[in-house]
A and B are shown apart, each in its own frame.
Chain A
Amino acid sequence: MDPVLTLYIFMLAAVAGFEIIARVPVILHTPLMSGSNFIHGVVVVGAMIVLGSADSVLEKGIGFFAVALGAANAAGGYVVTERMLAMFRSKGEGK
């Protein structure tokens, strides 16, 4: 990848991250932390790429480990976040 172009992506993504979070009320901090935890679970895609081109046994072993960990990060992050957010309701909504 073009390093300079990547630098711009880094910068814009960092600004986007700050801006999205800056306005979040405290009430959502826990689900948000767990939600952002879920989103970096996309590391599983990187792990799949690596395992998908692994040749030696060592590469395959570490790659397998990476995919399993990444998948756990994504799946676990999703489940707990969804569970928490499903509980939030306002006065208007029924119980």
Chain B
Amino acid sequence: MTLPAFVQGAWFAGALFFIFGLKGMSSPASARRGIIVAGYGMLTAIAGTFLIPGLQNIGLIAIALGLGSAVAWLSGARVKMTDMPQMVAIYNGMGGGAAAAIAAVEFVKGDTHDLATTALAVLGALIGAVSFTGSCIAWAKLQGVLRKAVRLPAQNALNVLLALGTVALGLATVVLAPARPELVCAFFGLALILGLVVTLPIGGADMPVVISLFNAFTGLAVGFEGYVLGNPALIIAGIVVGAAGTLLTQLMAKAMNRPISNILFVPMAAAGGGAAVEGEQKEIGAMDVAALMRYADRVIIVPGYGMAVAHAQHKVWEMTELLEEAGVEVKFAIHPVAGRMPGHMNVLLAEAGVPYDKIFDLDEINGEFAQTDVALVIGANDVVNPVARSDKSSPIYGMPILNADMARNVIVVKRGKGSGYSGVENALFYSDNCQMLYGDAQPMAGEIIQHLKAMG
């Protein structure tokens, strides 16, 4: 059917707004404007859709729209910043589910005509369904509902079998179109199970990469269903997100030093190993830490997820402000995978009020540690472990790290002795220039603040 110009125009405008919105989101200064522009694009596209002549079930559409957006809006407005990754995961899964459901309706109607349309409908359904159940599992893991990584026996073989089975059923659906309902049902069932089974064994620390991957998946699924529906706005928005998400996934996997295939198929726990570290950890008190930083010229703070878990970011920023008043130059160094999502730490620091021009990437700041008096590591571990540069037998060898060990003094705030999620001993903690401040990040930062105030 040919649609009137105002409907097509609304979709065109929507696609245009999305592109400009995303473009705006590529710089901190214009990012907020970017999302608002994209928001107008969405409203325009939805409004235009209501104007399709002969649109049925308008009441049902309105109820579904209201219901879905109200629930998501309320939950999104309340979620804590530390819980943001799982929220993004669940919204993303819903998008994937919607794409799969669109394909399902097309099959029920028997509306898919030529080979290309059927093939893309099936492909979109497969990817969307995997993204749907996979994202639900990702949410459950990060939310702490599912605590353990569940590894089924012969996991990899099972994954491959399931994937092959799903693809075979999908192919059958394409070839036999219009396929029998039982076949289509079996295809959807298997695709949903595939998402579950693939995601279940993946540990919480690898989830950021998985969420990003599913985000790209959903984008592709939406793009494919856009073709089935003959809607270029869906194609453009979906494929742009698919491509962007793929790139983002690669960047993250690289920052974690693990190829994507590795994350999906090899559990981190099986890695372990690496040379044992000789020496002793030296302890330091909060007062000495305060004095050390107060009379330093340059301080770099390396925050890790441990800081966020301890809700210490506000205190750390208060401490930073005191140091700056005393004339100390303070910067924040963020590893690309600090937090549970790339850039998550930046968001958490921003929430605490830290301006983004004090926050630096690994590449920007790594050269500066050598001229730094104090590197304060709070709740970070693997991302500052120098064995990643030196010990070839270590599982984290080759991972880009922050060179905190090159600072004149290193202070590590840590709850107790023990290794990071990779299970690798941290050679930094035993080096001569490193001292440990044991305790929860929040009370420790509080103590340092007290001592700084006393010093005036």
**A residues bordering B, Cβ < 8 Å?**
1, 3, 6, 9-10, 13-18, 20-56, 58-60, 62-91, 93, 95
Contacts and interface: CB of A to CB of B under 8 A. Distances in A.
18 contacts: A9-B235, A10-B239, A23-B26, A26-B361, A30-B85, A30-B346, A35-B21, A43-B238, A44-B65, A45-B49, A45-B234, A63-B60, A63-B105, A66-B101, A73-B94, A78-B38, A79-B77, A82-B32
A67 B42 contact: no
Contacts of B105: 50-51, 54, 59, 62-63, 66
Contacts of A10: 223, 235, 239
Interface in B63-114: 63-73, 75-77, 79, 81, 84-85, 87-88, 90-92, 94-95, 97-99, 101-102, 104-106, 108-109
Interface of B: 11, 14, 18-19, 21-23, 25-29, 31-32, 34-36, 38-39, 42, 45-46, 49-50, 52, 55-58, 60-61, 63-73, 75-77, 79, 81, 84-85, 87-88, 90-92, 94-95, 97-99, 101-102, 104-106, 108-109, 116, 211-212, 215, 218-219, 221-223, 225-227, 229-245, 247-248, 251-252, 334, 336, 339, 341-344, 346-347, 350-351, 353, 355-359, 361-362
B344 A36 contact: no
Contacts of A78: 35, 38-39, 42, 76
Contacts of A62: 101, 104-105, 108
Contacts of B106: 50
Contact of A21 (B31, B248, B350): B248
A55 B250 CA distance: 43
B84 A34 contact: yes
Nearest to B23: A20
Contacts of A65: 64, 97, 101
Interface centre among B22, B90, B232, B336 (most CB of A within 10 A): B22
A45 B46 contact: yes
A60 B60 contact: yes
A14 B243 contact: yes
Given A3-B116, A66-B101, A17 B108 contact: no
A17 B239 contact: yes
A76 B92 CA distance: 9
A46 B356 CA distance: 38
